[in-house]
Amino acid sequence: MLSKRILTMQDLSCVGQCSLTVALPVLSAFGVETCVLPTAILSNHTMFKEWSCLDLTEENKNIMKVWKKNSFKFDAFYLGYLGSVHLMSLAKECFSEFSADGAKIIIDPAFGDNGALYPAFDEKYVDAMRDLIKSADIILPNLTEACFLSGTAYEHNASVEFAESVIKKLSAMTDAVIVMTGAERGGEIGEIIFSNRTFSYIWAEKLPRRFHGTGDIFASAFTAEYLESGSLERACSVAGKLVAESIRATDPSHGYGVNFEYALKNIVK
């Protein structure tokens, strides 16, 4: 049986468990044929003190020219950390040129957390992402990203009701299903899903530790499971379990990310 062929577009950190070093193994382990368009190559992820970065925008253009000649098509697109406004234009070109019939577009905005933008980004990037999500079938913002995209002042320790109000504002800007990740209530963490003007929720125990790259693990597993089952709730549940098991399997002093490799074999079974 042929698997879905997905194109994931995000950066590659040579050391560290995030972005493509997470997306490629997770998607593949779930049985999805995974093709990649690396937006940049980093020496390591940016939670380390030093890093180098090679922007691949111009080479991406060359790659896409060859893809057109080879008539490549993809059944789905999964976008993570892009890094520049120019790459969003390339992403839209990818959607136009390489979509198979019924291709799904899943976008993780990946530009901020805890009420602030990541250091590399500014309001111009947010504006460009606000335009890009109009092309999406599903978006996976956290509360910070949803607030920036919808023009809402961020609230720390936000209630579920506040998160829902932000989601409704964001839904006026895109027809995409909205899956807000990292929502919290009491001692639980989970996802708030807004589809067909209706909310649904997936909750699990909130673990006491935070690690770099868990959002990439969630988005990758969510995408793979959703392409297989077509269920938003199941995709959130499976992805959340993988993230939780990865955190439990990781020593607190580990700075590279989480030990998703250990957890993945159990989740896939």
Residue type, 62: N
Question: How far lies 268's CA from each of 221, 242, 262, in Å?
Answer: 10, 9, 11
Full set of structural domains in the chain with CATH: 5-268 (3.40.1190.20)
CA distances from 154 to 158, 163, 214 (A): 8, 10, 21
Rounded CA gap, 143 and 153, in Å?
11
- What pLDDT is recorded for position 5? 96
d(CA 8, CA 76): 9
H/E stretch holding 84: none
**Residue among 134, 142, 79 at smallest CA distance from 106:** 79
Confidence (pLDDT) at 4 = 87
pLDDT of residue 268: 66
Largest Cα–Cα distance of the chain, in whole Å?
54
131-157 residues labelled b (16+ CB within 10 A) or e (exposed) = ebbebbbbbbbbbbbbbbbbeeebeee
Residues 138-170 have pLDDT tens digits of 999 999 999 999 999 999 999 999 999 999 999
Owner of token pair 């060359």? 62
Ranges of residues in the chain whose predicted pLDDT is under 50: none
d(CA 194, CA 179): 6
pLDDT for res 1 = 52
Supply φ then ψ for residue 144, to 5 degrees: -55, -50
